[in-house]
Amino acid sequence: MGSKILGFLLLALSWLPLTAFGITDDDVHVEYRNGTYYANLTIQIAVPPSSAFAVLIDFERMPNFMPGLASSRITSRQNNVYLVAQRGKVTFGPFSMPYESERRIETIDNSKILSRSVAGSARRMQSEMRLQSSEPGTRLDYKIEIEPDSWLPSSLGINFLQHELAEQFNALGREMVRRQ
pLDDT digits (tens, 9 = 90+) for 23-45: 888 889 999 999 899 999 999 99
Q: How confident is the model at residue 21 (pLDDT cuts 50, 70, 90)?
A: low
Band (pLDDT 50/70/90 cuts) for residue 101 is confident
pLDDT at 76 over 50: yes
How sure is the predictor about 97, in pLDDT bands with cuts at 50, 70 and 90? low
State the pTM of this model: 0.84
pLDDT of amino acid 159: 85
Tens digit of each residue's pLDDT (9 = 90 or more) over 53-75 = 999 999 999 999 999 899 999 99
As a whole-number percent, the residues of the chain with pLDDT over 90 amount to 58
pLDDT grade, residue 180 (50/70/90)?
A: confident
Tally the domains of the chain. Answer: 1
* Span 131-148, pLDDT tens digits: 999 988 999 999 999 988
pLDDT at 83 over 80: yes
Task: State the pLDDT at residue 115.
Answer: 97
Per residue, the 3-state secondary structure of the chain, as one string, reads: CCHHHHHHHHHHHCCCCCHHHCCCHHHCEEEEECCEEEEEEEEEECCCHHHHHHHHCCHHHHHHCCCCEEEEEEEEEECCEEEEEEEEEEEECCEEEEEEEEEEEEEECCCEEEEEEEECCEEEEEEEEEEEEECCEEEEEEEEEEEECCCCCHHHHHHHHHHHHHHHHHHHHHHHHHCC
Q: Where in the sequence is the domain holding 57, given as residue range(s)?
A: 3-178
CATH number of 21's domain: 3.30.530.20
